[in-house]
Amino acid sequence: MIDRALIGLEMEPFTVTAEAGRLRFFARAIGETNPVFVDEAAARAAGHPGLPLPPTFLFSMELDGPEPFAFFHRLGIDFARLLHGEQSFTHHRTAHAGETLTFTARVADIYDKKGGALEFVVRETKVTDAAGAAVADLTTVLVIRNG
């Protein structure tokens, strides 16, 4: 069982810069056909200062931290028993290529179901820009199958 005392634990913040080439690759990989996500001129014509981040790209950027698995290790989560249950995003504004974003994750909740057979960890990540303004909030629900 994951220690409920870890609720509220905040991980060390880290920064990642959104790189245009990677944004283009991601947009193509998810089948995005809107040219604003791959063509700088189309993005500027649409009023963006550069390529906008596709809405779910922040999830990928969160894995770019210096220790992408530190959250799981800190909670003692066994990857063999881990399922990704849910992901949601609340966007406060669109981020663009070239921006450096800060990710700060915390354990929002830990609970179980089915008599402890399934444990749920809710991770909330705040994404801010270089000025500290909110860009997005990510919520991830992890499911751990217990023996």
Whether residue 147 has pLDDT greater than 90: no
Average pLDDT over residues 14-43: 95
pLDDT recorded at residue 15: 97
pLDDT recorded at residue 52: 97
Q: Give residue 119's pLDDT band: very low, low, confident or very high (50, 70, 90).
A: very high
pTM of the full predicted structure? Answer: 0.93
Whether residue 125 has pLDDT greater than 90: yes
What residues make up the domain containing 17?
4-145
Mean pLDDT of the chain: 95
User: In this predicted model, what pLDDT tens digit does every residue of 58-89 receive, in sequence order?
Assistant: 999 999 988 989 999 999 999 999 999 999 99
CATH number for the domain that contains residue 104: 3.10.129.10
DSSP symbol at 79: G
Report the number of distinct structural domains present in the chain: 1
Average pLDDT over residues 98-108: 97
Contacts of residues 20-23 at CB distance under 8 Å and 24 or more positions apart, as own/partner, are 20/50, 20/51, 20/97, 20/98, 23/51, 23/53, 23/54, 23/57, 23/97
